[in-house]
Structure 1
Amino acid sequence: MFSESTLANNTILITGGGSGLGLAMAKGFCRSGANVAICGRTEEKLIKATKEIENEREDSKVGYYICDVRDHDAVSKMIEAVVADFGSLEGLVNNAAGNFLSASEDLTPGGFKAVVDIVLHGSFNCTHAFGNYLIDNEREGNILNIVTTYAESTGCAFVLPSACSKAGVLAMTRSLAFEWAEYGIRVNAIAPGPFPTKGAWSRLVPSKIFEKKFINKIPMKRYGEHEELANLATFLMSDLAPFITGESVVIDGGERLQAGQFNFINDLMSRKKLKAAFKAMRPKK
C-alpha cells in the first residue's frame, strides 16, 4: 500500500518518539519517505532510536530533540529548531504520554497533575506551537493525536488521570479540525487498544493474570502489532486521506465493544488487595 514516496517531502515530528509506539510510527514514516524528528527527555534513548530509524532508509534524514512537552517555551523553541534543521515541518504526532493504575480515592493531586500535564497540556503545547507555525507561514499540515478507546464515551476505572486527559485531547482534536480546516490543517486521532510496549506495559499489565484477562476480552484474541498502528498513522498523515479530519480511528481488535479498558481489574480480587497491588507497583523513590 505504501511506497518510499507516500510521505515524500514531509518532515514529521513525533513526541515521545524514542521508544514504543512513537518509535514504531517514526520508523513507518521513514520507510514511506518522510524526514523524521523525534523528541523526548532522555538523550540516551533518543540517540539509540535515531540510529534505528536511520536504518529504515538509506537516504533518510532523522534528528532528535531533548524537550519536555509540558514546557510551552521549550516546545516553541523545539519547533523553531526543527524548521531550521529540516527546512520545514509538515506533520506532528502527539504521542508522549504517562499512565499508571490507582484506585481513584488514593490518587494524589500530584499524581493526577503529572499525567494531565504530559498528556493534555503537552499535546496542547505542541499543537499550539506547530499550528501557529503553519498559520503564520501559510502552510498546510497534519496533526495526529494518540488517544485511547476509553476517551470517547466510557471513561475507565483505575486510570482516571489518563481518561480525563485523553478525553480532553480528543475534544481538542475535533475542535481544531473544524476551526483550522480553513488553513488546510487536518487534525485526527488514533485510539489504540492493547499494544504491548516495554515501559507502559509493565505499569499497566504487571502479571500473567492481568495479561490473560486482557487477551480474553479482545474478540480477536491477540494484541496489536506495532507495525499495524504505524501503517494506520502513515495513512492518516499522507495524501491518501486528504478528506479525513476530526476523526478518531479505533484500532483494538474489537476490544472497545466492552466498556472501560481496565474495568476488568475489579473482578480479579478484593478492593483491599487491589489497592495493595497498585501500591506495590509504584516506582521506588
Structure 2
Amino acid sequence: MGPFSASSYRSIAQSIRVLLPEFSLKDRVYVVTGGARGLGLTQVEAILEAGGRVYALDRLQQPRPDFERIAARAKDELGTHLEFIPSDVRDQDAMHAIAEDIVRKEKRIDGLIAAAGIQHTDTALEYRKEDADRLFEVNITGVFMSAQAVAKQMVKLGTPGSLVLIASMSGTIANKGLICAPYNASKAGVVQLARNLAVEWGQYGIRVNTISPGYILTDMVEAEFAEHPELRKEWASHNPLGRISKAPEYRGAAVFLLSDASSFMTGADMIIDGGHRAW
C-alpha cells in the first residue's frame, strides 16, 4: 500500500484535533527552517493543519509556488497563519533577530523544525574544502544557530516546547551507493547535537529530538538522480519496502514530536527509513 493522499491526511488531521487533543498544536507558534520547499514545506502544512502558526525560513528569496497555496489555506480554511522570511541559518545575529521579532508579534514561541540542509556528493579523496565548509556550516552550525535562537526566546518567556532537528539515516550508517562522507558526518553531528541540547535544556521544559529519514523524493534527490539515474532503482532496492519515501510520509512524525503526544520524549532519534537499516 502506498502513501496516503493529501486529502486523506487532511481528514486524519481534522479527526486528530477532535479525538486526540494531545496532538493539537492550536494557537502555538513554530519556526520551520528550510520551510519554503520540500520536506520543510510539507511539515509546515502539517503544523498548520494541526492548528499551529508557522514562520517559514529559507535561503530562497521567493518560496516555491505551493507556498502561496498553503498560506491561503492557512488563512481561509484553517484559521491560522503562515509567513515566509528569507534568511540564512548560518547568521547568528539574524536568527536571533528573527526569533525576537516573532515573539514581539506573537507574544510566544513554542518550537522549531530545523529542516534546512544541503548536500554535495564527491569522493573523500576529491572533496574540496570550500564545499565541505559550506555543507558543515549549513547542516550543523545552521541547525545549532536556529535551535539556539528559538530556545533563547523560550527560556526568556518561560515557555516549554519542542525542537525537532532533521537528521538522516545517513547519520548512523554509511550509505551503499551514495558517496558523501561530509554529508553523513554532518547528519551524525545533528543527532549528537540534539542529544546534548536535550540534556542542557530539559531543565527549561524544552524537548529536543531528531527525525532521521531514509531516502526522500525531494528536489535535492531528484537533482542527484538527474546526474546519476542508475541510483533511483538502486536506492529503492535497499529497503524491504522496495521504494523511496515521499515527503508527506513524515508529516505525522513532525506533529507527534512537536505536540504533547510526545511530552516524555527528548534526546531521541526517530528513524523512519523503510527498514533500510534492518538489513
Verify: 1:189 aligned to 2:210, yes or no.
yes
2:246 alignment counterpart: 225
Verify: 1:100 aligned to 2:100, yes or no.
no
8 Å Cα contact 2:240/2:274 also seen in 1: yes
Q: How many residues align?
A: 257
1:31 alignment counterpart: 49
Q: Structure 2: state its 5+ residue gaps.
A: 1-11
**35, 42, 45: which is aligned to 1:17?**
35
Task: Look up the SS of the partner of 1:38 in the other structure.
Answer: strand
Tell me the CA shift for residue 256 of structure 1: 2.0
- Separation (CA, whole Å) in 1 of partners of 2:68 and 2:113: 16
8 Å Cα contact 1:100/1:204 also seen in 2: no
Which aligned pairs between 1:42-121 and structure 2 lie closer than 5 A? Answer: 42-45=60-63, 49-55=67-73, 57-121=77-141
Q: Which runs of at least 4 in structure 1 moved beyond 3 Å after TM superposition?
A: 1-5, 204-208
Tell me the CA shift for residue 204 of structure 1: 5.7
- Report the TM-score, using the length of structure 1 for normalisation: 0.85
**Partner AA of 2:233 in structure 1:** K
Tell me the CA shift for residue 84 of structure 1: 2.1
CA RMSD, 1 decimal: 1.8
2:26 alignment counterpart: 8
Which aligned pairs between 1:172-211 and structure 2 lie closer than 5 A? Answer: 172-203=193-224, 206-211=227-232
Tell me the CA shift for residue 50 of structure 1: 4.3
- Separation (CA, whole Å) in 2 of partners of 1:142 and 1:245: 9
Tell me the CA shift for residue 45 of structure 1: 1.5
Task: Look up the SS of the partner of 1:104 in the other structure.
Answer: coil
1:124 alignment counterpart: 144
Identity, % of aligned positions: 25
Stretch deviating more after TM superposition (6-15 or 130-139): 130-139
- Separation (CA, whole Å) in 2 of partners of 1:190 and 1:178: 17
Task: Look up the SS of the partner of 1:36 in the other structure.
Answer: strand
Tell me the CA shift for residue 220 of structure 1: 0.6
**Partner AA of 2:121 in structure 1:** L
Q: Structure 1: state its 5+ residue gaps.
A: 259-285
Which aligned pairs between 1:150-161 and structure 2 lie closer than 5 A? Answer: 150-152=170-172, 154-156=173-175, 158-161=179-182
Tell me the CA shift for residue 109 of structure 1: 0.7
1:164 alignment counterpart: 185
